[in-house]
Chains A and B, each alone.
Chain A
Amino acid sequence: MDKFTTLTAVAAPLNVANVDTDKIIPARFLKTIKRTGLGKSLFADMRYNADGSEKADFVLNQEKYRKAQILVAGDNFGCGSSREHAPWALLDFGIRCVIAPSFADIFFNNCFKNGILPIRLPEDVCAKLMDDAALGTNARLTVDLERQVVVRPNGEEFAFNVDPFRKHCLLNGLDDIGLTLEHTAAIDAYEARQPAWQPKIHGA
């Protein structure tokens, strides 16, 4: 997983509430056995016409947002399915940070596993960032994870919260599995004290 420290980039405004995972990546694109290559299908139904041509009014089809690395979004972003294809598609497109007033839990969690930083900020703050994002390449936002601030183009800063453990993992690009395996002795001990009636699934 790539580290996330500081990011200064163009932010794309997507001022829509309840952007669900089927919008982020429709189910027909989940038939892959890889993590990469999903960026072209990101927001497919919002982004392309039925004949595959681009919808000119969709934000990521506008020249100034083609290289956006930050997405400023509406309430309850990422609701719906647990598909990690949603953060994979964002990442493959180049998005490393999503800012919104609220997120669905599973999506929020999945972002951290892929080096994407989801930031919750109050609605009025998101509205200001949405305005900045509307200026395209003229107004880059800076996200500083170490200091836990989003910096507007005018220098104004907004502090955000992030779970200390997740922050540590993102800053260092750490893989959870390696960390958990340090608890193997405790897992062994837990399994040893499971009740005798607890059934096992064996090839049947």
Chain B
Amino acid sequence: MPRTLFDKIWDAHVVDRLEDGTCVLYIDRHLVHEVTSPQAFEGLRMAGRKVRRVENTIAVVDHNVPTDADRLKGVNEPESKLQIETLEQNVAEFGVTYFPMSDARQGIVHVVGPEQGISLPGMTIVCGDSHTSTHGAMGALAFGIGTSEVEHVLATQTLLQKPAKNMLVRVDGKLAPGVTGKDIVLAIIGKIGTAGGTGHVIEFAGEAIRSLDMAGRLTVCNMAIEAGARAGLIAPDETTFEYIKGRPFAPQGQDFEAAVAYWKTLPSDEGAQYDKVVVLDAAEIAPEVTWGTNPEAVIPITGTVPNPADEPDEAKRGQMERMLSYMDLKPGQKIAGTKVDVVFIGSCTNSRIEDLRQAAAVAKGKHVAPGVRALVVPGSGLVKKQAEDEGTAQILIDAGFEWREAGCSMCLGMNPDKLTPGQRCASTSNRNFEGRQGPGGRTHLLSPGMAAAAAVTGVLTDVRELI
């Protein structure tokens, strides 16, 4: 029977099957960070258990770390400091490989995995973070888990799981200039909704997806979770193999050739069946921007804020009204031209070198508008260094952007980078939930180029006017 990419990876990792169909699923890569792991290590310690496979496990600090240049002098916030120190004690006690803040390889866990060649096609990859779906762009089955499951994987290198359903999202045709992976995934979520993928693994396919570089693909899979999907997947191809070749933790030489031969067997078979199929036309996708407080509340930058009065469903109408009130927007107003206070370029969605280059291309020779604070937070120390070496960083610095150290930063308001109540932010991150970037903060999700356009004009702006 023809199988999908998901079916193949799943089948290759079933260790055992319980009577009711629950599988003991083997986990090839376990990524650990400071926020969702302390209780898991504590559980191991209390039960007298070890980490079963330290060689499948890697730890990094990202959520809590400050991103200012002085951070190696110490973390001021006592609770953050405790979480970071707890992780450091745990990795030392259990023998897990770890990239601390002082290591150039430190960064956001979902940037570090692919960058180091730790995340590879055909693997199962988990992390106590919902944006683990990012690694699906490598052609790996990657998903977020809770802390109980983090402990389960540490102790057994497996998870108890039932297979997900298969969903295909195909984006046909070519993307217009100024339209990126971020716009594709926002358009998809706008179409299928924040629960459109629930219970499914979404395989992204079609010409527009194939044409993306790895950074663009990682962005698309990163936000699969925002469509409610268990995971996102993109079949590995020459773009993938070329990206992986020579990365530190990837197979080298003959091992690499053997790996590629296997990876080439992974793409879905001709005639494989999907439980759901959604098709989009790339030509219809514009630079997108969210107007509400969940990622499905999205419109093209050329669009207007929807009117709740046009919504027949009472509950949805109420939700729209609440979103407009929180966001301080009026029905029918053009979204372009909305004034912003802060611009955030970073997060596991959009902090790779290609993302920073998109921003720099727009910002080059211009300056951040008066009254706007604009931050650029590279996804890893290595991205930061590369941007500095090639001049991308200088373009952004000259344009008046803050150039910071690697971390999750303003994506989630649990480190010093936060919005203050009422501030409006053009953000390349993945969640525009109420209070996500700081209590009372207002988030508009968009691409790095769009963020840079907002920074230099001071208002939400169609990036195509500046390129």
Kindly report which residue of chain B lies nearest to residue A187, judged by CB atoms: B15
Q: Which residues of A contact B155 (CB under 8 A)?
A: 177, 180-181
Inter-subunit contact A105/B228 (CB<8 Å): yes
Inter-subunit contact A20/B82 (CB<8 Å): no
Kindly report which residue of chain B lies nearest to residue A46, judged by CB atoms: B434
Q: A31 with B64: in contact, given A22-B433, A22-B436 (CB under 8 Å)?
A: yes
| A183 vs B18: C-alpha distance when bound (angstroms) | 10
Of B18, B79, B249, B439, the contact of A201 (CB 8 Å cutoff): B249
Q: Which residues of B contact A179 (CB under 8 A)?
A: 160
Inter-subunit contact B15/A105 (CB<8 Å): no
Kindly report which residue of chain A lies nearest to residue B411, judged by CB atoms: A27
Task: For chain B, give the interface size range.
Answer: 35 or more
Q: A82 with B145: in contact, given A104-B198, A164-B20 (CB under 8 Å)?
A: yes
| A106 vs B319: C-alpha distance when bound (angstroms) | 23
Q: How far is the CB of A20 from chain B (nearest CB, A)?
A: 5
| A80 vs B35: C-alpha distance when bound (angstroms) | 16
Inter-subunit contact B435/A26 (CB<8 Å): yes
Against A, the Cβ 8 Å flags (1 = close, 0 = not) of B252-276 are 0011101100100000000000000
Inter-subunit contact B412/A199 (CB<8 Å): no
How many contacts A-B (CB < 8 Å)? 202
Inter-subunit contact A80/B433 (CB<8 Å): yes
- Stretch of A108-116, A136-144, A149-157 lying at the B interface: A108-116
Of B86, B259, B319, the contact of A17 (CB 8 Å cutoff): B319
Against B, the Cβ 8 Å flags (1 = close, 0 = not) of A97-127 are 0000010111001100110000000000000
Q: Which residues of B contact A200 (CB under 8 A)?
A: 55-56
Inter-subunit contact B256/A197 (CB<8 Å): yes
Q: A105 with B198: in contact, given A81-B130, A113-B148, A180-B160 (CB under 8 Å)?
A: yes
Q: How far is the CB of B347 from chain A (nearest CB, A)?
A: 13
Taking each of B86, B129, B198, B259, which has the highest tally of chain A beta carbons within 10 Å of its own beta carbon? B198
- The verdict on B279 contacting chain A, using a C-beta distance below 8 Å, is no
Of B63, B80, B97, B148, the contact of A204 (CB 8 Å cutoff): B97
- The verdict on A53 contacting chain B, using a C-beta distance below 8 Å, is no
Inter-subunit contact B97/A22 (CB<8 Å): no
| A181 vs B50: C-alpha distance when bound (angstroms) | 12
Q: Which of B53-108 contact A (CB under 8 A)?
A: 53-58, 63-64, 77, 79-80, 82-83, 86, 95, 97
| A204 vs B254: C-alpha distance when bound (angstroms) | 22
Q: How far is the CB of A45 from chain B (nearest CB, A)?
A: 5
Inter-subunit contact B20/A163 (CB<8 Å): yes
Inter-subunit contact A165/B146 (CB<8 Å): no
Q: Which residues of B contact A50 (CB under 8 A)?
A: 421, 439-440
Inter-subunit contact B255/A105 (CB<8 Å): no
Kindly report which residue of chain A lies nearest to residue B120, judged by CB atoms: A199
Of A18, A27, A105, A165, the contact of B194 (CB 8 Å cutoff): A18
Against A, the Cβ 8 Å flags (1 = close, 0 = not) of B5-27 are 00000000001101010101010
Kindly report which residue of chain B lies nearest to residue A74, judged by CB atoms: B315
Inter-subunit contact B97/A201 (CB<8 Å): yes
Q: Which of B136-154 contact A (CB under 8 A)?
A: 143-149, 151-152
| A33 vs B86: C-alpha distance when bound (angstroms) | 8
Inter-subunit contact A187/B158 (CB<8 Å): yes
Inter-subunit contact B146/A28 (CB<8 Å): no
- The verdict on B349 contacting chain A, using a C-beta distance below 8 Å, is no
Kindly report which residue of chain A lies nearest to residue B260, judged by CB atoms: A197
Inter-subunit contact A106/B144 (CB<8 Å): yes
Q: A30 with B414: in contact, given A79-B194, A180-B156, A190-B26 (CB under 8 Å)?
A: yes
Of B86, B130, B158, B256, the contact of A106 (CB 8 Å cutoff): B130
Of B120, B144, B195, the contact of A102 (CB 8 Å cutoff): B195
Kindly report which residue of chain B lies nearest to residue A26, judged by CB atoms: B435
Taking each of A177, A191, A204, which has the highest tally of chain B beta carbons within 10 Å of its own beta carbon? A177
Inter-subunit contact A83/B146 (CB<8 Å): yes
Kindly report which residue of chain B lies nearest to residue A166, judged by CB atoms: B22
Q: A197 with B228: in contact, given A17-B315, A23-B433, A187-B158 (CB under 8 Å)?
A: no
- The verdict on A147 contacting chain B, using a C-beta distance below 8 Å, is no
| A203 vs B36: C-alpha distance when bound (angstroms) | 22
Q: Which residues of B contact A18 (CB under 8 A)?
A: 194-195, 294, 319
14 extra interface residue pairs, beta carbon distance < 8 Å, beyond A80-B130, A81-B130: A23-B433, A30-B63, A33-B86, A84-B39, A84-B146, A102-B195, A106-B145, A113-B149, A176-B152, A181-B155, A186-B24, A187-B52, A191-B26, A202-B97
- Give me the 6 closest cross-chain CB pairs, A-B, nearest first: A113-B148, A31-B79, A84-B146, A82-B144, A200-B55, A33-B38
A-B contact pairs, 20 of them (CB 8 A): A18-B195, A27-B412, A31-B64, A31-B82, A50-B440, A79-B194, A79-B195, A81-B144, A82-B36, A82-B145, A83-B146, A110-B148, A180-B156, A180-B158, A191-B157, A197-B258, A199-B120, A199-B255, A201-B56, A201-B118
- B interface list, Cβ under 8 A from A: 15-16, 18, 20, 22, 24, 26, 28-29, 35-36, 38-39, 42, 47, 49, 52-58, 63-64, 77, 79-80, 82-83, 86, 95, 97, 117-118, 120, 128-130, 132, 143-149, 151-152, 155-158, 160, 162, 194-195, 198-199, 228, 230, 248-251, 254-256, 258-259, 262, 294, 315-316, 319, 412-414, 421, 431, 433-436, 439-440
